[in-house]
Structures are given as structure tokens and as C-alpha cells.
Amino acid sequence: MTLQQRQEQENSRTHSVATHCPYCAFQCGMLLGGSPQQPWIEGDRRFQVNKGGLCLKGWTAPETLAHAERLRTPLKRQPDGRLLPVSWDEALESVVHFIQATQQRYGKEAVGVFGSGALTNEEAYLLGKFARLALNTSQIDYNGRFCMSSAAEAMNRAFGLDRGLPFPLEDLAQAEVILLVGSNIAETMPPLMQYLDRQQRAGGLLITVDPRQSLTARSGQRHLRLTPGSDAALANGLLHILIRDGLIDEEYITRRTNNFAAARAMAAAYWPERVERLTGVPEQDLTAVAHLLAQARSAIILTGRGAEQQRQGVTNVLAYINVALALGLVGKPGSGFGSLTGQGNGQGGREHGQKANQLPGYRRIDDPAARAYLAHVWGINAEELPGPGRSAYEMLSSLGTPNGVRCLFVMGSNLVVSAPSALHIEERLAALDSLIVCDFFLSETARLATIVLPVTQWAEEEGTLTNLEGRVIHRRRVFQPPAGVWDEISVLCELARRLGKGQYFPFRSAREVFEELRRASAGGLADYAGITYEKIDAHQGVFWPCPSLEHPGTPRLFSDGFPTADGRARFHVTHYQGPGEEPDQDYPLYLSTGRILTHYQSGSQTRRIGQLQALSPEPLIEIHPTTARVHGLQEGDLALLSTRRASMQGRIKITEAIREDTLFVPFHWGDTQAVNRLTNPALDPISRMPEFKVCAARIERLTNPDA
Ligand code: SF4
């Protein structure tokens, strides 16, 4: 390095700004400086969550800022089908025209809004307000429905409150035993592994539950390689053994819970031999894990998408919560139950009103008191607020149908890659009268749009996000956005003004939106009333609920009671139903999907980063050596993977880390490489979460890829 280069680096370091990674819910702190063209980046050692750690995705994240494919001008679909640049004025006028024409012809509900767990709290809040107040439609939901809704529903039902981790991450390092279900942290959130490493260095045990022996499973001491879709049976089996062997915490159950008798009666039907048949997990392993959990002075049970993205995702999570309650773990220091949120703002994004059934502060939209309160904050009559709308997949399935949405406004979501049965969703999008997409790249979804609005990226905007612990953090602006790009708050406020509702959207900054969000959430379960940007900066984040300026925030929940009507947690009856599709003669294997180290979600950002794309240019189909032999497949072969919905092409990766009856494919690619074209849209009846994690599939060698 030359002296000049060293000097430039030092200048960048001196002038760097502390902000956060744009990707996952771990929200690593980073120092960012230099310029968008020549960014300088370092993990923020002072930020106590990641303590300086970043994964490959975080290190390379600034490459998206000055990327050649960055959208810098609005685009409009022309009569000849091409998407061509237009001015902001023309684009916004067209959006207003599409909205008004649709609502005049088909009614208010014919305009829908689709948000994202990537939006800041301010953007998510404003999007919910925009839908209800500027568009007067109930049709709003977001891609977090595909991520966190099962865990959220289960925690609400069992504890009266959903916060992914009801305790700080630091507790993980203190737990004697951690049972990690359906999550591959070592690839999805690598810096989080430092907590598990510390836990194990102190003598703690990590037990994983996963059909694959993932990188995370390999770092633990025990691994239960269950049959895909059998989580409820496995958890019920654990509960059965705990009861049978007198290992439950009777005093805790009596003092702090309800409905144990029903759970006990249910668990009686899950004797270990039966559970072994249902899950493939040997009886002695199940018994050993139940005893390890019970004997530990502190233990934590964590679930991830593996258990949650199923048509009985809520039941699965409730079954693991039953185990945690039976052991008296919840609310005890160093112990508990939690769910690992995935998307960057998957926690805050589900709290402040971009869900179909929700108003800010985790209020329910069908609760008259909540409606009256929000109407007061927004200066309208409660009758003007629409009621609950359709959930994400149901809204998307309604697109272009007689009583469905005809004009869709999408912010921050690439849903033709991330939605289940994605080909079906693509067909529905094509049936729309108009599709408006706000994005910074021409994603697979933006390519289908009538209007594309180019918006800012993470390092060009200010706002707050809420990480997987419930810690509200401050995303600081580092760079000015490129000319021609607007921030989402300005887009929403300007559209509202042109729709004649500008008086409700007077915001000139994220801070001003946050001030209203504080009032809107006050008194709700997710109470942000006492949180300010200054307080976040002074304390490295503030945990909600934080009801007043004097309040320090709440890192640990449930120590003294649960926010339920009687202050107790609730056991549930959680019978195993099995997945929507079981392997059969035509489709003899299970297919499961997930994330890998090098890419994030739909891949719209990470597939544009050279280093990441070079490492993982295409989806690999993981298959067991025995299964590969049976199907005549070898490492690197091109294969055709099919389900009842669609087919995709992918290369074969042979690994003993997967069960013989299961295939695994990451979901970060689009078009013919999109595994979500194949996944089953069967919905959980409570959370409306699609069953991404398990369906029936077949695989064959592809001799002629063009055919
Ligand atoms: Fe940290 Fe997640 Fe970003 Fe990786 S992707 S750097 S784990 S926030």
C-alpha cells in the first residue's frame, strides 16, 4: 500500500459513520466511509451485538451503492411493452392515475399494497398509514408473512406477546444447553456464532434439530436429523418423556401457566417408539435430549424457519413452547424460548401496521379501542379506518380476479422470487391492470411493473430498525443518494399529497415520522413512546417496550408475568398433522429450501455482487450419495427438479449431510432457477404462512437443458 493510499484509508476511517448492515436481523454494526464508488468498511467493535464481526455479505454490501445496474430514473411501461425512463412528475402522475382509475372502476379495495421486512420502522409505519388513509384500502400485507408470522402467532398465543427473542443475545452465551431447531446460523448469521462458541467454551451444549447436518449442526454436540415436517411430533415426544420421567417443573407450571392438563393428555399419545416412527429420530436420542434439557441449570429453546415455514408452523412453535414451559424456562435468567427473526427489520416490520390485521404498536385492527386510539393520533374518525385485509399469499392470489386487487403497489419486495408457487404469483401479477414497484434494482418483480420508482438504499437513508432481540437501533445516513433517486418517505408523502391526503403526511424526515410512530405505538404491546434517536445513540439501542422517556427499555420479558389476561402463559394442544404433501410414487422425495452463506433472500442485491456471485453462481441441489446413485446422478450433473407445481434446473451437489429421502435447494435465484416456483403454497390456518420447507419432489438427470 502506498503512502497516499494509506493516508486515504486513514481519512476514510476518521470520517466513517457508524451504521448497520442492510441484510439480516442480526443487524451488525459497521463503520462506513469513503465514497459509494470507493467505500471503506469495517465491523463496528463498539457495537455490542456483533462486536466487530461481519459476514461476507456485510463486507461486500457497499458494492450495491454505486452498482452499474442501479436504477436512477423512474421507468414507465410503453404501449409497445418496453420500460422506458420518464420524469418523476410523469411517473407519480401515472401512479395517481392508476390508483384513482382502479378505485373509481372497482372500488377502494381494488388497490393493494405489499410491503417488506427490509423497510425501516418509519417506512413500514408510513406504508401502513398510506394504505389505510391515503388509499383507504384494507389490502395491505408484507413479505414478513412468509418469514415470521408462525412464530409471531405462537408467541402471542402462548405468552400474550411476540418479540423474537424475549431476552438479550448475551443470554445465549450463558445457557448450559441450547436446543436450536430449524436454523442454520453459521451460514445465515455467522457473527451470531460467537455467542454459541462462548457458550460451548464454557462447557455448554448445542443440540440442533434439522433434516440436514448443516454447518451449524456440525458445530454442536448433538444433532437430531428429523424427517422434514415432523417437528410437532418431535416436540410432543420430548414433552412426553419429560412428563413420564418426572422432569417437569411442577411448581412453575402451577404458578405461571394455564392449560397444562390438556397438553399432558395430548403428549400421552406421543410415546417415544411412535415418535421415532414419525420423525426418524431414535428413541434413545430423544430421551437423552429431554434429560439434558431437564438437567441443565439454564436452557434455551430457539426455533427458525425450518420449523415455522410449514402448514402447521404455529403448532410446531407452540409444541416447542410447551417443552420450554414444562421445564419452567420462560422468564428465567439465562433460559427461555425464542424465535430467530430472519429479515433485516423482520421484527420492527411486523409491529407497526403493514400487516393486514394490524395497527401500529402491535394493535389489532379489529379492536375498537385500538381503532379509536389510532384514529385520534391520525386525526380521523375510527369509521374511516378500513378493517382487516387478506394475508400476503391470499392477496397475491387475488390479483387481477373480479373481486381482487387490480392495482398493486410494492415496496421493497421481490415477490416473484420469494413467494411460494412463484409461477402462479407471476401469472397473477401479469393479470393486474397496473403494478407499481419501488426498488433500487430492476428485480424480477420490477421487470413486470407498469411503473418503477427508483428509491434509496440503506446507507443513503436514516431510520430505525428493530433487531432480532427487540433492540431498536439507528441506521445512519452515510452517503447522499445518486441524483434521480428518492427516499421512500418522500415517495409516500408526495403520492399522498397528489391523492388529496397531504395534510396527513407532512413529514420531511424519518425523524418526524418516528415522532408520530412513538405516539401511535404508545400504550400498545410494542410501545416505542419512550424511544428517541438520541436515546438509541446513547445506549447502543433501546429494547421495547419503552413506555416513557425515563424508562430504560426492557431487555428481558416475562420475568414477573406474561401480558395475558391472567398474567400466565398458556400450554396448547399441538397434535402432529404432517406436511401438506408426503412423498409418493410420482414424487418420492422431500424437498426443503433455505439460505446459504453467500446470498440473501431473493438475491436481488447479492447476485449483483461479483465476489458473492463468483462463489455461488447458481443454485445447487443437495442430495445424499445413495439417492444420487439410485437416480444415476453425479456431482456437477445438471438435473431437473420437479414438484406438482413446476420444475427447475440445478446442478447436483452430493453430500452425506442430508437425509436420504430429502433434497435441499437455496431459494436465492429467479426465473428457471427459482425453487419457489416448486414450493407448496399450502397455508398454516392461523398464521397464513406458506409451507416453504417441505413438499414432495422428484429428480432426474437433464440430458438436454434446452429441451
Ligand atoms: Fe451481520 Fe447479517 Fe449483515 Fe451478515 S448479513 S453482516 S450477519 S447483519
Q: Are residues 249 and 158 in the same domain?
A: yes
Residue of 19, 20, 26, 465 to test ligand 1 pocket, by largest number of atoms within 8 Å of CB: 26
In a shared domain, residues 98 and 30: no
The pLDDT confidence band at residue 10, using thresholds 50, 70 and 90, is low
Residue 208 in domain: yes
Which of 45, 57, 345 should be mutated for ligand 1, with most atoms under 8 A from CB?
57
| Residue 39: predicted pLDDT | 95
CA 404, 408, 411, 416 dihedral sign is positive
CATH code at position 628: 2.40.40.20
Q: What is the pTM of this model?
A: 0.94
Last residue of one domain, picked from the residues 339, 361, 385: 339
If we measure between CA atoms, which residue out of 137, 101, 157 comes closest to residue 687?
Answer: 157
Q: Tell me if 596 CB under 6 Å of ligand 1.
A: no
Q: What are phi and psi of 337, to 5 degrees?
A: -125, 140
Q: Average pLDDT in the 544-551 region?
A: 98
Q: Is residue 6 predicted with pLDDT exceeding 80?
A: no
What is the residue range of 49's domain?
Answer: 3-64
CA 33 to chain CA centroid, Å, is 28
Query: How far does the centroid of ligand 1 lie from the alpha carbon of residue 62, in Å?
Result: 13
- Place 210 in a pLDDT band, splitting at 50, 70 and 90: very high
Question: Quick check: is 564 in a domain?
Answer: no
Q: Whose CA is nearest to atom 2 of ligand 1?
A: 24
| Model confidence pLDDT, tens digit, residues 618-667 | 999 999 999 999 999 999 999 999 999 999 999 999 999 999 999 999 98
Is residue 704 over pLDDT 80? no
Asked if the model's pLDDT at residue 8 lies above 70, the reply is no
Q: Is the pLDDT of residue 329 over 70?
A: yes
CB-neighbour burial class of residue 108 (10 A; exposed 0-12, middle 13-18, buried 19+): middle
What's the total number of domains in the chain?
A: 4
Gap between the Cα atoms of 312 and 229, Å rounded: 8
What is the residue type of 481? P
The two counts, helices (H) then strands (E), for the chain are: 25, 30
If asked whether residues 332 and 242 sit together in one domain, one would say yes
pLDDT of residue 707: 57
Residue where a domain terminates, one of 506, 527, 543: 543
Ligand 1 atom closest to the CA of 50, numbered from 1: 1
512 and 376 within one domain: yes
| 385 and 532 inside one domain | yes
Domain assignment of residue 257, yes or no: yes
Residue 1 has pLDDT above 70, yes or no: no
* Atom 4 (ligand 1) nearest CA: 55
| Cis peptide preceding 545, ω within 30 of 0 | yes
Q: Are residues 89 and 41 in the same domain?
A: no
- 97 CA → ligand 1 middle, Å: 40
pLDDT number for residue 418: 81
Quick one: pLDDT at residue 143?
A: 86
Instruction: Kindly state whether residues 89 and 207 are assigned to the same domain.
Output: no
| CA 45 / ligand 1 centre spacing (Å) | 14
Q: Is residue 706 pLDDT above 80, yes or no?
A: no
CA-proximal residue: ligand 1, atom 1 (nearest): 28
Residues 138 and 160 grouped into a single domain = no
In a domain, 475, yes or no: yes
> Are 226 and 281 a contacting pair, CB within 8 Å?
yes
Let me know if residue 553 belongs to a domain. no
With a cut of 80, say whether residue 42 has pLDDT above it.
yes
Rounded CA gap, 582 and 570, in Å? 31
Q: pLDDT tens-digit profile of 69-97?
A: 999 999 999 999 999 999 999 999 999 99
From 30, 45, 56, 189, give the residue whose CB has the most ligand 1 atoms within 8 Å, as the site to mutate: 189
**CB 55 less than 6 A from any atom of ligand 1:** yes
pLDDT one-digit tens code per residue, 389-417: 998 889 999 999 999 999 999 999 998 88
The pLDDT of 445-472, averaged and rounded, is 97
| 331 located within any domain | yes
**How high does pLDDT run on average in the chain?**
94
Question: Are 331 and 466 members of one domain?
Answer: no
Ligand 1: does its nearest atom lie under 6 Å from the Cβ of 189? yes
The last residue of a domain, from among 339, 373, 401: 339
Give the mean pLDDT of 524-535: 97
Co-location of 83 and 22 in the same domain: no
- Give one DSSP letter per residue of 318-387, joined into a string: HHHHHHHHHTT-TTSTT-EEEE---STTTTGGGTSS-STTEETTTEETT-HHHHHHHHHHHTS-GGGS--
**CA gap 169, 152 in Å, rounded:** 18
| Residues 482 and 528 both lie in one domain | yes
The pLDDT value given to residue 688: 86
User: Quick check: CB of 223 below 6 Å from ligand 1?
Assistant: no
Residue 301 binned pLDDT confidence (cut-offs 50, 70, 90): very high
Give the CATH number of the domain where residue 198 resides.
Answer: 3.40.228.10
Residue nearest to atom 6 of ligand 1 (CA): 58
Domain-embedded: residue 379: yes
H/E element, 648? strand 647-654
Within this chain, do residues 334 and 351 fall inside the same structural domain, yes or no?
Answer: no
Over residues 496-522, mean pLDDT: 98
Q: Is residue 222 part of a domain?
A: yes
- pLDDT of res. 148: 83
